[in-house]
Amino acid sequence: MSASPILITGGAQRLGRHCAERLVDDGHPVIISYHRERDELEALRARGIVTLQADFASEAGIQDFLVRLRAETSSLRAIVHNASDWAPDTTDDDAGENFERLFRVHMLAPYLINLHARDLLEACGEPMRDIVHMTDYVARKGSRKHAAYAATKAGLENLTLSFAAMYAPSIQVNAIAPAMIMLNEGDDQAYAEKARAKSAMGLIPGPGVIHQSLRYLLDNRYVTGITLPVDGGRHLR
Ligand SMILES: NC(=O)C1=CN([C@@H]2O[C@H](COP(=O)(O)OP(=O)(O)OC[C@H]3O[C@@H](n4cnc5c(N)ncnc54)[C@H](OP(=O)(O)O)[C@@H]3O)[C@@H](O)[C@H]2O)C=CC1
Ligand SMILES: Nc1nc2c(c(=O)[nH]1)N=C([C@H](O)[C@@H](O)CO)CN2
């Protein structure tokens, strides 16, 4: 029986792409979702990674993705809910729409995909099956400029507890809560230095630490319902 694929949502760039490529190196078939088509996707496709378009900003988009996911595979080894919109708060008329969009991307999409793709995980013939939610250090701290983002990540963190209880023992459900892992385009040296100073480890590690954390959860059959901080000791500063 061939191995069941691992689904990584939002896997076209940055952390999700790094993990998708490393999981292929580890021998897993991988499916990613992407929001925007772009040339870089060809390199992933060339490695045999299946790419499915998705817009999780609406329930219709989430349901449409699920239909195409089921057409693509009859089982899954794991689901990594990585897709995310790091939108700052807005104070004008679209503040409510901004919050609702982040709720859909960070909470409704993982919730509906976990509910409606459970049977795909149960169909996996391998001994372990996993769901991993990518949350954020700020889920427990809040954020002055990304309150809606932080609140919806906190909701995703809470969904980890509920689904871990619902799905045990056949499916393990955990979260990874990163702090600064990699910079964004346009981040200058001053921003980078300020970001490094926020953690006890004083560095911006890059996406390898997320693959390591994901590997730990995928390989450990006795861990469920936890949130794994990967934040350089932010809480110590
Ligand atoms: N990078 C960091 O330092 C940190 C990251 N995290 C978390 O780790 C995860 C990965 O971070 P990072 O790689 O920086 O994430 P990105 O900002 O690169 O977002 C990941 C993907 O989410 C997709 N996405 C955004 N909106 C939608 C939507 N409406 N529907 C479907 N997909 C969508 C994007 O797709 P597309 O590109 O195709 O538009 C994007 O490629 C995220 O959950 C993030 O919140 C937490 C703390 C720190
Ligand atoms: N979807 C995203 N979420 C987050 C990002 C990002 O680039 N995309 N970046 C961060 C920052 O690194 C933040 O941790 C800096 O303090 C947080 N979330």
> Which residue puts its alpha carbon closest to atom 2 of ligand 2?
86
39 is a domain residue: yes
Strands (DSSP E) contained in the chain are: 6-8, 30-34, 50-53, 78-81, 130-134, 172-178, 227-230
**Angstrom distance (rounded) from CA 138 to CA 227:** 13
36: CATH = 3.40.50.720
135 is a domain residue: yes
Ligand 1, atom nearest to 12 Cα: 41
- How many folded domains does the chain comprise? 1
40 is a domain residue: yes
191 is a domain residue: yes
Q: What is the distance in A from the centroid of ligand 2 to the CA of 183?
A: 8
Whether omega for the bond prior to residue 205 falls within 30 degrees of 0, making it cis, is no
**Angstrom distance (rounded) from CA 17 to CA 163:** 25
The ligand that comes nearest to the alpha carbon of residue 176 is 1
Tens digit of each residue's pLDDT (9 = 90 or more) over 135-175? 999 999 999 999 999 999 999 999 999 999 999 999 999 99
Please check whether residue 45 is in contact with residue 68, taking contact to mean a CB–CB distance below 8 angstroms: no
Full residue range of the structural domain in which residue 159 is found: 6-236
Which pLDDT tens digits describe the chain residue by residue (237 residues)? 689 999 999 999 999 999 999 999 999 999 999 999 999 999 999 999 999 999 999 999 999 999 999 999 999 999 999 999 999 999 899 999 999 999 999 999 999 999 999 999 999 999 999 999 999 999 999 999 999 999 999 999 999 999 999 999 999 999 999 999 999 999 999 999 999 999 999 999 999 999 999 999 999 999 999 999 999 999 999
Ligand 1 interacting residues, C-beta cut-off 6 A: 10, 12-16, 34-36, 54-57, 82-86, 105, 134, 136, 178-182
1 is a domain residue: no
Interface predicted TM-score (ipTM) of this complex, two decimals: 0.99
138 is a domain residue: yes
**pLDDT in the model for residue 1:** 64
pTM: 0.99
10 is a domain residue: yes
Tens digit of each residue's pLDDT (9 = 90 or more) over 55-84? 999 999 999 999 999 999 999 999 999 999
Q: Which residues are catalytic?
A: 149
The residues, ordered by sequence, that sit 6+ positions from 111 with a Cβ below 8 Å of its Cβ are 159
223 is a domain residue: yes
